[in-house]
Amino acid sequence: MDDITRDVVVIGAGAAGLTAANDLRTAGLSVAVLEARDRVGGRLWTDTVEGAMLELGGQWVSPDQQALIDTVADLGLSTYSRYREGDSVYVGPDGEAKRFTGEMFPVAPETEKVIDEITARLDAMVAEIDPDEPWAHPSAAEWDKISWDAWLRQQTDDDEAVRNLAFATGSAMLTKPTHTFSLLQSLLMAASAGSYSHLVDADFILDKRVAGGLQQVPELLAERLGDDVLLNQPVRRIVWGGDSAASGRSGDSVTGRRVDDLRDLTARVEAAASSSAGVTVIADGVTVRARFAILALAPVLYSRISFEPPLPRLQHQMHQHISMGFVIKVHAVYDRPFWREQGLSGTAFSPYELCHEAYDNTNLGDERGTLVGFVSDQNADDLFRLSAEERKERILESLSRYYGPEAKSPVVYYESDWGTEEWTRGAYAASFDLGGLHRYGADLREPVGPIHLACSDMAGAGYQHVDGAIRQGHRAAQEILERTRG
């Protein structure tokens, strides 16, 4: 077991952790990044499956994601636009595929009117919200008490309008059933992208991809850190209180003591933060002693780590109100992009279909054609009760309703299932349950003693996206730099 000392130890080599580590290194601090997996990138994973390069995790960049755009430019990477020429496809409640161009999809004029009116209402509400502190809005408590689905159904009894409006932050973003999260959580999701209208505009939100794959971002960031990124190092324990951390005596645990004995917690937290060795982080093959730590992983995974002393009451409670959404990202590669021959852009969606949305995801310069489709929340749960063959058949059947029978015969087929990934446990990211955002949101990013926090799942701008992860990485590094200067 190696024993090393650094100014800051970063736990998690995703976009957030690697951004923070680079900022700290640039400012002259020594760092070590401990990563549980045998690769960097976390939810960014560009892999080759049966000869096809696939983006198994995050991939798209939208024009408002300035932190990601700056990082991509700094690393010398280039981007290209998603293919979008031709007609899009919408499948309505009658199951019929209808082609359309422009922003509005083919629904009855009354439904279109309702969708337009509610969209305008939502845009006005979102404009009043600061994505970095949605809980500060005067109506935050009220908006956090009602589910997204219930609020929409209070606005109209047009079911098709509700399903389509709900979809943008439900299946397509938070990837949870729309009765399980609040209107406020939905408004945060929209505010993080600038407006509700942005969120439903695929040409905005799914604008560009990085040539060669988005995982190059964490890979190149890690390259700059060299040997200070340690793979296969799941962190199991963090000793962070006062003397035990300062002396590095990891056996000097307070776990299990009565709550009364922890009354001096605040004092010890402050002592740890101001001491020169505030935290000892124990991974499978290395122990790192540092002045500060950054937990750069999804908050749903904090409970996998044993904290000594335990995290305070507020964190224990708060973290139980955050959970991961779940979506299956389906990749289907064909010998050619056959849908383009039919004048289709590849953009297709329906709140009535198993694959609620799908796009042309052909790689830059590739003569083969790739479709990417998404199956979300309860539909995804249900599919995983089936055999792999049945699941594939059901998914391809759904794609064929958008693109025709040829969609049933890909040459490569792959399902990204982040629910089985031990160090992620869902996709795309985590959100609060009903009422949780207003109750705990303001505390989510607050450091605990020498432990700072960074992750896309606690971002304001760029929430649940790589852009948000990078912004949170910069913020956590800045917080530590301010403390070291102070």
Residues lying near ligand FDA in the complex (CB under 6 A) are found at: 11-17, 34-37, 42-44, 57-60, 234-235, 296-298, 301, 304-305, 329, 416, 418, 423-424, 427-429, 455-456, 464-467, 469
State the number of CA atoms in the 13 A half-sphere of 246 facing the CB. 13
Based on CB atoms, which residue is closest to ligand FDA, 19 or 88? 19
How near is the Cβ of 227 to ligand FDA at its closest, in Å?
A: 17
State the number of CA atoms in the 13 A half-sphere of 143 facing the CB. 20
Token code pair at residue 371: 């479709």
How near is the Cβ of 203 to ligand FDA at its closest, in Å?
A: 14
Based on CB atoms, which residue is closest to ligand FDA, 158 or 467? 467
How near is the Cβ of 56 to ligand FDA at its closest, in Å?
A: 7
Token code pair at residue 237: 């324990």
As a whole number of angstroms, the distance between CA 223 and CA 21 comes to: 12
Based on CB atoms, which residue is closest to ligand FDA, 162 or 466? 466
Q: Any idea which residue has 């040459």 for tokens? A: 411
Does the CA dihedral 91-94-96-102 come out positive or negative? Answer: negative
Based on CB atoms, which residue is closest to ligand FDA, 143 or 307? 307
Full 3-state SS string of 416-440: EEHHHCCCCCCCCCEEECCCHHHHH
How near is the Cβ of 468 to ligand FDA at its closest, in Å?
A: 6
Based on CB atoms, which residue is closest to ligand FDA, 172 or 269? 172
The number of beta carbons lying within 10 Å of the beta carbon of residue 243 is 12
Decide: 209 and 61 in contact? Cβ < 8 Å. Answer: yes
Based on CB atoms, which residue is closest to ligand FDA, 173 or 481? 173
How near is the Cβ of 387 to ligand FDA at its closest, in Å?
A: 22
Based on CB atoms, which residue is closest to ligand FDA, 82 or 401? 82
How near is the Cβ of 69 to ligand FDA at its closest, in Å?
A: 11
As a whole number of angstroms, the distance between CA 403 and CA 401 comes to: 6
Q: Which of 289, 179, 178, 181 is nearest to 239 (CA)?
A: 289
How near is the Cβ of 146 to ligand FDA at its closest, in Å?
A: 26
At 174, give phi and psi (nearest 5°).
-75, -15
Helix or strand or coil: residue 454? coil
How near is the Cβ of 27 to ligand FDA at its closest, in Å?
A: 20
Contacts of residue 416, defined as CB under 8 A and 6 or more positions apart, other chains included, come to 54, 56, 57, 328, 329, 330, 331, 427
Token code pair at residue 433: 């349950």
Based on CB atoms, which residue is closest to ligand FDA, 88 or 472? 472
Based on CB atoms, which residue is closest to ligand FDA, 58 or 337? 58
Mind giving me the DSSP string for 54-96?
A: EE-S--EE-TT-HHHHHHHHHTT--EEEPP--SEEEEE-TT--
How near is the Cβ of 328 to ligand FDA at its closest, in Å?
A: 8
